[in-house]
A and B are shown apart, each in its own frame.
Chain A
Amino acid sequence: MTRFADDLTSLRDLFATDQLILDPVELITYEIDAGVDRGCPGVVLFPADTQDVVRAVAWCRDHGVPLVARGSGTGLSGGAVSIAGGLILEFSRMKEIEQIDEISLRARFQPGVIAQYFADTVAARGLHYPPDPASARSASLGGTVAENAGGPHCLKYGVTANYVMGMEIVLPDAQCLTLGGPALDYPGVDLAALLTGNEGSLAMITKTTVRLLAKPPAVMTMMAAFDSVDLACSAVSAIIADGIVPATLELMDRKMMEILEDYTHAGLPVEAGAALIIEVDGYPAGLQPQIDRITSIIARFKAFGLRCTQDEEERAAIWLARKSVAGALARLAPASLAVDPTVPRSQLGEALRRMAKICEERKVPTYYVSHAGDGNLHPQILIADPNDEKLMDHIRETGRLIMQEAVRLGGTISGEHGVGVEKRELMNFIYRPDELAAMRDIKAVFDPEERFNPGKMFPTTAPEPDLIPQRRVLPAVQAIADQIRTAAESSPPGRVAIVGNAAPDRPAPAAEICVSSRALDGVLTFVPDDMYVVAGAGTPLASLRGFLEAENRILPLVSPWEETTLGGLVAANLNGPLRARYGGIKDLLLCMEVILPDGRVIEAGRPLVKNVAGYDLPRLFVGSFGCLGMITSVTFKVLAPPKARITRSIPVADPAEAVRVGLALYRQTINASAILWIKEKGALPGKLICTFEGLPEDIQVEEDLLRQISSDNHLAAIDPVKGQDGSSIWADWVRSCCDAGPLVKYGVAPGDLLGLIGSQPDKMTTNAALIDVANGCLYLGDDDHACLAQNAVERNGYAIDIGRTPPDPNRIFKDRSGTRLLTALKQRWDPSGCFNPDGPLL
């Protein structure tokens, strides 16, 4: 400690007095976040900009001082608590929204911006940033990114990770890097996706780029009462199975409603066993039909006391009740432990029952409110006296038992709060040693000296044996794993190549071992209630789509090629026009099974829509081109098919004009699943293709909008397209182009498309060209691409070859600053570099 005190003198030299808190009395206020764990920092530092962060991190590096990032200290798992003393880097003064791009629908912000302020600011411009954790009024965006925050609206809109596109980070060695950016699907591994939810343990995030949506113009809120929690839970599953995706589905049980009603007098149906708050959004015309449909579905579960409103005041009253949980509980006890296990939606009723039993047996008063739509429970365990250590142990043990039960039901220990200190020992419940080891490897690559947020996330104790059942590995997978292990262990190590689902014995160089996913073909599990499907990596996408079609479900991914396998699709991260409407592969992928280069078989992630326990391993393998491991099975979430879909075509000769019209549509629509301009090779006229899919009423509104915009721009007549949609048109075009020669995909922010195509307009006239406006992509059938590729990179974009085989690394243009981290990770898993050595690792 004396040493630390000496060191502080040098810190004082580096920063202004008002940037440092050193007074031990003042430091008391930085001992805790909104959770229950404590730790006193030695110093709190307020960086003003990235340079300050770099200097602070360098100082910590040079003086061996641990460092904890902190935003507003509203986390619930002790993530921002400095349990090892050291330095707290408090981001509250880095609070600038640096950019809101209303054309590309992107924003870039510093970590100290308050989440609600940001959401309100973009909403005032007709845009929508959906993550809405309950703490949004105080939480910093940096915290929501580091913890991968969710909230009631993530049922429909997903969590923070689904919006993060790029970051500026400072690594523990004080290097500042930029990862990702305003374009979608940079070639290679998306490290920004991996870092979302890293809990401050890998990097300091100094800037974040996110994507925004057009704001749904109307919202309707409904409250329904049920006789029992079980009936309410069944109603939730039925609503989702029907293909309606409400913006929120919140569940309260009777016990909770009674105390909320005492407190808020919001008119909750306290006589009922449970109630749901259901919110739908979209165009005004589409709301009532959705509510009618929901009403008829929940009638099957004896719903009663329906209350439905579009009135902002009444809506606020309903939500006030829901959001007053903490206040109402505070009247019953001075503290409570808020935990957030998440189970598969179908298990929600069972989970609540089992948890209630545990708490009853242990005489621990507990209340529940749940984001029922995604199985995210929030048991709130009351603490009569937070200073009573014996009681606290009893409470913690109860929390542990609850979590264990959630995991037994196929759930996870944290849906949104993060692991932090609070749940670190529970990581042994959910992940097997090999999976934790893989996460520790990531930590070691980023932060070998464990300087960033030490003591968090990873368990300090060894797991009890057989805590989690051994993973049942299919014989076919084990056979491949054995082959890979043998190759890695032989001397010299054998070179391993992954050949998709081609025959494993295809002609290959002498020393090469070819592993194929051919034997891994077929759907392994389909869980209609929880809306996910597990399939072998060798399954062709086309056959999975066929399977799902028979089940009246869709997986919104497309490949131009019949033979594309799921493993190949994920490894190449190829997304089509549907991405703008439904998210990309990384958003639809829940988890996967992977053979690491040393032959270990791990399950990366869990089949849950919300899981923030540990690093998001599946993201590491999306776009990895097989360099980090071989994917053997993938789990995708599936959706109900849209109720209606229309596709329209308009002849537009000038690509710039098409892009302008496309951008206007992109900015104003919420149902467009393709906005393309497409042109064959030669001086043929191009056409604008638009597909809208969703509710018939909503589609109608957007078709009218299309008509309006095209007449404003004096475009020719709109033709309906029959038998095809934007995705299939894209797929056919890409396939035929690839057959004819090289096809290059350029990615930029949508708003940069005009500049990109304007830089070499003649290329658009002579070559086959396709512009995917909503996704910011230009596809050109063109061999000589260096110049345009350079232009794309200057716009923070990229260029990559698209084809049946992995791209030539030398023809990929992008900023490669993150590559060294991936190389280091590969080095740990594949020291000899013999695993898929030719694949591009970016």
Chain B
Amino acid sequence: MLDPAVQDELSHCLHCGMCLQVCPTYHIYGTEMDSPRGRIALMRAVATGRLKVDELPPSFTRHIELCLGCRACEAACPSAVKYGHLIKAAQTTVREQTRESWLARGVKWLGFRKLMPFRERLKVLASALWLYENSGLQTLFRSLRFMPESLRQMERLLPPISREYFDYAVPAPAIGPKRGKVAFFIGCVQEAFLARANRATIRVLQRNGYEVHFPVGQTCCGAAQLHLGDLDFARTLAMKNIDAFLDRGFEAVISNAGGCGATLKEEYEGLFSADPAAAARAARFSALVQDFSEFMLDHLHEPPGGVVKARAVYSDSCHLRHVQKIKKQPRQLLRMIPGLQLAELSRPDLCCGSAGVYNIVHPQSANAILEMKMEDVRAAKADLLVVSNTGCHMQLIAGAQQPGPPIRVAHIAEVMEESYAKEGRV
């Protein structure tokens, strides 16, 4: 926060307060220090030396940590303050100072370095958890009252696992006349735990005449590592991905998770700021990346024709809406589906509380935000909740389990594929 670039960015905030109402934590707490403007005021206090950077008070740390990083405030900011950069700087400073327990460090090391970058390991874990879900163990666990809350929270977020894994060994051919060649960014957690979303994405691309490739060297996007301050490792992952996709004649690299896409598009170049040549390659790679709905709306050669009878709401992924600025496309695609009635949430710009690992680290706040989101969904009388990001997907499945009328949660590609399938197309 003492970095001149950060200080300069801090000075652009005019504290007009236009960010307040779009901030999920301000929504649940109603307090300035849990708003973007308030957090900037706290950062300024550090930048001006009012708070000492080497002995940050606990209340400072707490309010900085409570930010979900959804960046809804950036979209609302009339002064275009790059809040995402600011909060990342502040959270990095905070994390440099907090001495985590060996257990927490161990879990993070295992998760972010040893699991997420390895799709196959994740699938093994997913298979184990599938067994857990389907063997009665889950029922047993949920009946045990003495389990620690943090574990319960993680368990709550576990979606029903599908093991319909796609075979990525060979490219998926275009169905009908071939119109182009695209690459698919497989990702990590979504592939392991929510396999249907990826299957459907690939299928919809095929149906529209695209040959879909799966470059072998690709790995996790590095968003989680990046946001938790493990920049070196994030850089390694980024490099792998750039090498895997760049200069291979792909018309586009399709990502179907808002958070991953935002990282691929917006963060990679900055990771290589010290190396102009690498940064230039990163920029060229980022220019290739397109979100699934962004690409589909422009390349929808075969509109879906089967009737999907549902009253749906689309829940924006924050990183899709606020960072990638994609909000019209998924809605337009959904409106094309016969029989599907698209309602709008009263606060579509509000985060669902997932925010990477936020819902595991700050369960109380995340659950309050989720509750707010589900209230909005129920008020819209929806029976189908359409998502476009892995974290939201899992969080909202957990939300949909709350008492009330049943709500199905599905990735937008799954809904489109359902329509194609119902039409009787193979």
A contacts, CB < 8 Å to B: 21, 23, 25-26, 28-34, 46, 72-74, 90, 92-93, 114, 116-117, 135, 137-139, 323-327, 329-331, 334-336, 386
Contact flag A137-B21 (CB < 8 Å), given A21-B31, A32-B15: yes
- The answer to whether A334 touches B78 (Cβ under 8 A) is no
Judging by beta carbons under 8 Å apart, are B78 and A28 in contact?
no
Pairs A-B, 8 closest by C-beta atoms: A330-B79, A29-B38, A334-B11, A29-B32, A327-B78, A74-B17, A92-B30, A326-B78
- B16 pairs with A28, CB closer than 8 A: no
Cα–Cα, bound, A668→B259 (Å): 47
Known contacts: A29-B42, A137-B21, A137-B76. The answer to whether A330 contacts B14 by CB under 8 A is yes
Contact with A along B13-25 (1 / 0, CB 8 A): 0111111110000
Please list 16 pairs of residues, one from A and one from B, whose beta carbons are closer than 8 Å in the complex, sorted by A's number: A21-B33, A25-B33, A28-B33, A28-B50, A29-B38, A29-B42, A74-B16, A117-B21, A135-B16, A137-B18, A138-B17, A138-B18, A139-B17, A325-B78, A326-B79, A386-B11
A146 CB to nearest B CB, Å: 16
Smallest CB–CB gap between B64 and chain A, Å? 11
Residues of B within 8 A of A34 (CB): 14-17
- Say yes or no: B78 contacts A323, CB within 8 Å: yes
Tell me if A72 and B20 are in contact (CB < 8 A): yes
Are A25 and B57 neighbours in the complex by a CB distance under 8 Å? Answer: yes
Beyond A25-B60, A73-B32, A330-B81, list 11 extra A-B contacts (CB 8 Å): A25-B51, A25-B57, A28-B41, A29-B31, A29-B35, A34-B17, A72-B20, A74-B17, A116-B21, A138-B19, A139-B17
Measured CB to CB, the closest approach of chain A to B56, in angstroms, equals: 9
- Distance in angstroms from A39 CB to nearest chain B CB is 14
Q: Mark B41-56, 1 if CB is under 8 A from A, else 0.
A: 1100100001100000
Residue of B nearest to A92 (CB): B30
Chain A residues whose CB sits within 8 angstroms of the CB of B281 once the complex forms: none
| Docked-complex contact A327 and B33, CB < 8 angstroms | no
Answer yes or no: B63 CB below 8 A from chain A CBs. yes
B50 contacts A135, CB within 8 Å? no
Asked if residues B80 and A25 are in contact (CB atoms below 8 Å), the reply is no
What is the CB-to-nearest-CB distance from B130 to chain A, in angstroms, rounded to a whole number?
A: 41
Check if B42 sits within 8 Å of A25, measured CB to CB: yes
Which residues of the other chain, A, contact B63 by a CB distance below 8 angstroms? 26
B238, CB-defined interface residue at 8 Å: no
What's the least CB distance linking B74 to chain A, in Å?
11
CA distance A82 to B45 in the complex (A): 18
Which residue from chain A places its CB closest to the CB of B19 in the assembled complex? A138
Interface membership of B116, Cβ < 8 A: no
- How many residues of B are in contact with the other chain, CB < 8 A? 32
Q: Which residues of B contact A28 (CB under 8 A)?
A: 33, 41-42, 45, 50
B59 contacts A by Cβ under 8 Å = yes
Which residue of the partner chain, among B19, B33, B41, contacts A32 with CB atoms under 8 Å? Answer: B41
Bound complex: CA A354 to CA B33 (Å): 42
User: Which B residue sits closest to A74, measured CB to CB?
Assistant: B17
Contact indicator A29/B78 (Cβ below 8 Å): no
Residues A93 and B30 in contact, CB atoms below 8 Å apart: yes
Distance in angstroms from B29 CB to nearest chain A CB is 9
- Report which residue of A138, A326, A334 has the largest number of chain B beta carbons within 10 angstroms of its beta carbon: A138
**B31 contacts across to A, CB distance below 8 A:** 21, 26, 29, 46, 92
B14–A335 CB distance below 8 A: yes
Which residues of chain B come closer than 8 Å to A135, judged between CB atoms? Answer: 16-18
Residue of B11, B31, B59, B63 contacting most chain A CB atoms (<10 Å): B31
A334: chain B residues at CB < 8 Å are 11-12
1/0 per residue, CB under 8 A from A, across B70-82: the answer is 0000001111110
Which chain A residues border B80 with CB–CB below 8 Å? 327, 330-331
B29, closest chain A residue (CB): A18
Cα–Cα, bound, A135→B19 (Å): 11
- Determine how close the nearest CB of chain A comes to the CB of B7; give it in whole angstroms: 10
For the complex, what is the distance from the CA of A188 to the CA of B356, rounded to whole Å? 61
Partner of A29, one of B16, B41, B51: B41
List the A side residues contacting B79 at CB < 8 Å: 326-327, 329-331
What residues on A are CB-neighbors of B77 within 8 Å? Answer: 327
Q: Do the beta carbons of A326 and B16 come within 8 Å of each other?
A: yes
C-alpha spacing A403/B57, complex, angstroms: 43
Report how far A92 CA is from B20 CA in the complex, Å: 11
Query: Which residues of chain B come closer than 8 Å to A330, judged between CB atoms?
Result: 12, 14, 78-81
Q: How far is the CA of A26 from the CA of B77 in the complex (A)?
A: 22
Tell me the complex Cα distance, A33–B50, Å.
Answer: 19
Write out the residue numbers on chain A whose beta carbons fall within 8 Å of the beta carbon of B12: 330, 334
**Bound form: Cα–Cα A619–B31 in Å:** 36
Q: Which residues of A contact B19 (CB under 8 A)?
A: 138
Give Cα A278–Cα B79 distance, bound, in whole angstroms: 25
Kindly list chain A residues whose C-beta atoms are within 8 Å of the C-beta of B60.
Answer: 25
Task: Please name all residues of chain B whose beta carbon is closer than 8 Å to the beta carbon of A137 when the two chains form the complex.
Answer: 18, 21, 76
Q: A326–B18 Cα gap in the complex (Å)?
A: 11
Q: Could you tell me the distance between the alpha carbons of A74 and B35 in the complex, rounded to whole angstroms? A: 13
Closest to A93 in B: B30
Complexed CA–CA distance, A137 and B26 (Å): 14
Which of A26, A33, A46, A139 is B30 in contact with, Cβ under 8 Å? A46
> Residue of A at shortest CB range from B50?
A28
Given A93-B30, A330-B12, answer yes or no on A25-B18 (Cβ-Cβ < 8 Å). Answer: no
Contact A30-B11, Cβ < 8 Å, known A25-B60, A137-B18, A138-B21: no
What's the minimum C-beta distance from A136 to chain B, rounded to whole angstroms?
10
Contact A138 B20 (CB under 8 A): yes
Q: Which residues of chain B have C-beta atoms less than 8 A from A323's C-beta?
A: 78
| Least Cβ–Cβ distance between B47 and chain A, in angstroms | 11
- Cβ B11 vs Cβ A335 within 8 A: yes
Q: Whole-angstrom distance from the CB of A299 to the nearest CB of chain B?
A: 34
Residues of B within 8 A of A31 (CB): 41
Bound-state Cα–Cα, A386 to B63, Å = 26
What is the chain A residue whose CB lies nearest that of B11? A334
Please, how many angstroms separate the alpha-carbon atoms of A706 and B38 in the complex? Answer: 54
- The residue in A29, A73, A116, A138 that gathers the most chain B C-beta atoms within 10 A of its C-beta is A29
Q: Complex: how many Å from CA A156 to CA B52?
A: 52
